[in-house]
Chain A
Amino acid sequence: MLAKLMKYEVKATARWFLPLYVSVLLFALINKLTWYGPFMENKFSFTDSSINNPALSGNSFVPVIKGIMSSLFMFIYVMLFVGLFVATLIVVIQRYYKSLLGDEGYLMFTLPVNAWQHILNKLVISALWCLLSSIVGICSILILIPREALQELPYAFARVKEFIGVSGIVIFVLGAVTSLVLGILKIYSAISLGHLFNKYKLLLSFVMYLAIDAITQVVWMLITVFSVNISLNKIDFASMSNLHQVKYVFAALTVLNVVFSAGHFLLTSYLVKRRLNLE
């Protein structure tokens, strides 16, 4: 059943993301071509020699138009790039809010599926789109940067690997992924809590999010203080290298993320199953 839910969730969301991804990559490519490509042999500038070149004065508006076009393309690319992340966040929120707690909830919650499966479905697919959006964003930057810089990349990666090691990479990736999962689940908890009220559900969902965030940070701080006290006795934190300290903190963050995520998942499942009253 979970697989079937995921199939429909991907269908429902892909129609937003795929066109967006294609346009981001397309405009990255267009920008690349207008800068370095055959369409513009010289890099454009308003002091371009062709403007002052009497032999070409008849065509002096051409570089100006080219310049306007390339600025426009850059502007569109930047907007799309920002839009990519804004849209991802909006879709994460909207898919939970609308398709489970809105009118569509009448359909979803009368399917022979458990409440937790609905939440897991939304979570997994949302997290995948977030990762994919990040990958597409990075790829678009890779398209844009000059070839010389691109050639440096493998070397840079090798240096990073050498410095933090494979274990470091694994720890950082785990920390990032669990932070993402926790981030999404915090949104779900907040919206579910906001839905317990009869009025101003969206506004109260936002207030709930701020409250959850504040509580999370306080708990995080308390744990940090306590664990530093404990670990100072058992582990010699000070004698670690800086890198080891960072790895240690990231590992702790990952564990906390998992614990907090489990808490939010249970809370959301309970609220949706027991306390939800669809309008």
Chain B
Amino acid sequence: MNNILECENLSKYYGSTKALDSVTLNIPEGRIVGLLGPNGSGKTTFIKICNDLLTPTKGRIRIGGFEPGIETKKIVSYLPEKTYLNNWMKVSELINFFKDFYTDFNTDKAYDMLNKLKIDANTRLKTLSKGTKEKVQLILVMSREAKLYLLDEPIGGVDPAARDYILDTIIKNYSENATVIISTHLISDIEKILDDIIFLKDGQVILSKTVDEIRDESGKSIDALFREVFRC
């Protein structure tokens, strides 16, 4: 199996603070990976480096064989925890925007999801609620036929009913052989869809296994294991 993402001794320091400390990971194609850890464990720093939004202090990272840059941006679909959509565009204009810049964007898929969620493509973002904006953002990100999806807290801001829909959307819409990395601390909600998990603590990887391995070895759920590992 090919690795979509490889990194070696990847580190990011802010002064003396080590946001990411010698992270070495190989993530294969076709997996759903949970990047789990408490607040401030380095999840967002890692994802930002993958997206070329931060430059690592040390170490190397390759996505699909490339250093983060234009080539990786073509194959990585990223959902940040921020709402990054401007307010003055209509939903349909945003779809055109994505179609213009990403060759892997599937317009039909986007409209299909909008219809299912009963979001009118002619409304301006300004008039949408925060939760609906997050849904639009997720639809745009998942309508790309990318090789790697990086989802930072995709279910953090929405209600439990919408969470199920969103997870469903993620599973149904990621392309074959693509890998999805989901960063979250809401573990019980996403546990059932994960293939692999990575535990991050203080910028270091303290555990990286498949969900099956964990169940076989410890007989615990991920949620239970997480509570045990990160007990305060």
Contacts and interface: CB of A to CB of B under 8 A. Distances in A.
Interface of A: 1, 4, 7-8, 12, 15, 99, 103-107, 109-114, 273-278
Given A4-B100, A8-B97, A113-B70, A103 B88 contact: no
Given A99-B86, A104-B86, A277-B54, 15 more contacts: A7-B100, A12-B86, A104-B85, A106-B80, A110-B53, A110-B78, A111-B101, A111-B102, A112-B71, A112-B74, A112-B101, A114-B70, A273-B55, A277-B48, A278-B48
Given A8-B97, A110-B78, A104 B84 contact: yes
B85 A107 contact: yes
A15 B78 CA distance: 29
Contacts of B71: 112
Interface of B: 48, 51-55, 70-71, 73-74, 76, 78, 80, 82-86, 88, 97, 100-102
B100 to A, nearest CB: 5
A106 B84 contact: yes
B51 A110 contact: yes
Contacts of A275: 55
Nearest to A114: B70
B88 A278 contact: no
> Which are the 9 A-B pairs with shortest beta-carbon distances?
A106-B84, A112-B73, A107-B84, A106-B80, A103-B82, A112-B74, A111-B101, A112-B70, A110-B78
A103 B84 contact: yes
Contacts of B70: 112-114
Contacts of B97: 8
Contact of A113 (B48, B76, B83, B101): B101
A4 B80 CA distance: 23
A3 to B, nearest CB: 10
A77 to B, nearest CB: 28
Residue from A107, A111, A277 having most chain B Cβ neighbours under 10 A? A107
A53 to B, nearest CB: 55
A81 B101 CA distance: 38
Contact of A15 (B84, B85, B88): B88
Nearest to B137: A107
